[in-house]
Chain A
């Protein structure tokens, strides 16, 4: 087996051709071969493991109106939740446990959240969306009315502009994929095209921007260029098929595919069309990048291409040497992921990963690559390349270009160091 896999080597330190699982996956021989090669599955099966279990000999639980994950999945939760500084109120965020998930979709209960003064408890019967400013006809819409409009659906990631900000630090932060990169999630959003609602109100040609505002206790507000609003913006009502969760904007949020999360205003209640941006707190004092020479780069809207390996990753350690699947997620606010490359030797040689279909614009794309780990220390990295040709930068390149004090929009390449004992840690390489 080893010789056969070695013939599939595509880059240094044991990276194998992305197609080997595909070629073998369909047949019994392949399945046996994989089981023999995968660490943790090499122990012989003992007869006592094949006793008929209690849950087969007892009727199971009765039906529930809304099901929950298995009690054995209790570690798969958002976090780490920050200490509350203001006696139970105020701003906070909760991160998606990326290392425990697979595929491209984030379950609704695990979607990341950033809120600026709690989650409002909105009665949809009393909620209105106001569109006004530079329009011919200022209008209000009820949730019930919007629910009668033709719907559009798209799968889109949402990523906080502060995600991965810890990677600017001078020394590698200890953490997991979740704590370092968990302010990104991906869902199928369904709602009404914002362009349709703006057309109904009649856009004054002088309108170049709009300011979107939430009904939360921060009245969160952000300015959006009119071009984006008329392009692919959506007033989203549904998240993965059900009404949007309160933590993600119930009963409606603005969805601006690919743009920094903060602009995707939750609990959307007001859209005002303007000539100039409103220069709100969250587009001036926050979410702007302090770059070189004290200059501040403002209105950085799309999230640039990024990727992170989720398996293995800190906490998702290696065990015995053998065949593993490296897996992770990649996304770009500029379009589709064109390619993800992986190195197991700290960047000396790279191999293209397989991209799981569907590969969608401005959505998370799952990538996978087989790896025969020889049990020696290794440095794993992934780099995303999007359809514009943009290549996710190395840490050195990003910091050389903008300095290390930008706080936001960090998308440099993450390095996971694998120790001989299989433990995986965040390192700089």
Chain B
């Protein structure tokens, strides 16, 4: 049994893509689970919005959550320090000036904001905000950057449609080599 496994590993190590049709014999100790059961851990949000949960949040509610949960590290209205600056910096990515990379000036996808806040923020108590409040804080930060209006609300349909200002400046290097 292990001989065949070793052959597969060797082929992989040599850089071949293992053919999906090839039967790989393993000890087979993985425990089956349904996607429904896996959902409790599945935090991934795609740039197309796949994975976004139900719920909705307004800029107004987002400001309330921000004041309570975010401002201590990200500063008033997202000016930063000690944590990342969230607002401003548009126009600083050109030329030789010091770039100010913020959600507004740099981030290419609005969905990333929801994904990251939900999984990792606030720093001291991650994964404690409700989905509604994650939508709301996302909306507030986008509004601070002038990307959505102050009366806007976000949900699974509207968030992926938000076009980020720096989106078109991103290009994918893989599988090449950065110059």
Chain A CB within 8 A of B123 CB: yes
A196 close to B24 (CB less than 8 A)? yes
**Which B residue's beta carbon lies closest to that of A402?**
B179
The residues in A between 346 and 382 inclusive whose CB is less than 8 angstroms from any CB of B are none
- Per the bound structure, the CA–CA distance linking A293 and B166 in Å amounts to 12
- Per the bound structure, the CA–CA distance linking A299 and B67 in Å amounts to 34
- Residue-wise, chain B 149-165 has the 8 Å CB interface mask toward A (1 for contact) of 00000000000000000
A141 close to B17 (CB less than 8 A)? no
B46 close to A279 (CB less than 8 A)? yes
Picked from A146, A272, A403, the residue with its CB within 8 Å of the CB of B42 is A272
A137 close to B111 (CB less than 8 A)? no
Minimum distance in angstroms from B42 CB to a CB of chain A: 7
With a CB–CB cut-off of 8 A, which chain A residues contact B171? 295-298
Picked from A117, A138, A301, A403, the residue with its CB within 8 Å of the CB of B32 is A138
Chain A CB within 8 A of B147 CB: no
Give the interface residue-count category, chain A.
35 or more
A196 close to B8 (CB less than 8 A)? yes
Chain B CB within 8 A of A337 CB: no
A276 close to B120 (CB less than 8 A)? no
The residues in B between 79 and 136 inclusive whose CB is less than 8 angstroms from any CB of A are 82-83, 93-94, 96, 98-99, 101, 103, 106-109, 111-112, 115-116, 119-120, 123-124, 126-127
Q: Is the interface of B mostly helix, strand, loop or mixed?
A: loop
Minimum distance in angstroms from B44 CB to a CB of chain A: 5
Chain B CB within 8 A of A387 CB: no
- Per the bound structure, the CA–CA distance linking A279 and B169 in Å amounts to 15
A117 close to B123 (CB less than 8 A)? yes
Chain A CB within 8 A of B173 CB: yes
With a CB–CB cut-off of 8 A, which chain B residues contact A288? 170
A197 close to B109 (CB less than 8 A)? no
**Which B residue's beta carbon lies closest to that of A276?**
B46
**Which B residue's beta carbon lies closest to that of A129?**
B30
Interface-facing stretch out of A12-20, A28-36, A61-69, A148-156: A148-156
**Nearest 7 CB-CB pairs, A to B?**
A139-B30, A199-B24, A145-B29, A219-B119, A299-B174, A85-B82, A281-B116
Interface-facing stretch out of B33-41, B57-65, B137-145: B33-41
**Which B residue's beta carbon lies closest to that of A195?**
B12
Picked from A117, A148, A272, the residue with its CB within 8 Å of the CB of B29 is A148
Q: Which residues of B contact A (CB under 8 A)?
A: 2, 5-6, 8-9, 12-13, 15-18, 20, 22, 24, 26-35, 38, 41-48, 73, 82-83, 93-94, 96, 98-99, 101, 103, 106-109, 111-112, 115-116, 119-120, 123-124, 126-127, 166, 169-175, 177-179
A-B contact pairs, 28 of them (CB 8 A): A85-B83, A89-B123, A140-B33, A141-B29, A145-B30, A150-B27, A154-B13, A195-B9, A199-B26, A201-B30, A203-B20, A211-B44, A225-B174, A231-B13, A232-B15, A272-B44, A278-B45, A280-B116, A284-B107, A285-B101, A289-B178, A290-B101, A291-B179, A296-B108, A298-B170, A301-B175, A304-B177, A409-B178
Q: Which residues of A contact B (CB under 8 A)?
A: 85-86, 89-90, 116-117, 130-132, 137-142, 145-146, 148-150, 152, 154, 193, 195-197, 199-201, 203, 205, 211, 213, 217-219, 221, 225, 227, 230-232, 269-270, 272, 274, 276-281, 284-285, 288-291, 293-302, 304, 334, 390, 401-405, 409
Minimum distance in angstroms from A352 CB to a CB of chain B: 24
With a CB–CB cut-off of 8 A, which chain B residues contact A140? 30-31, 33
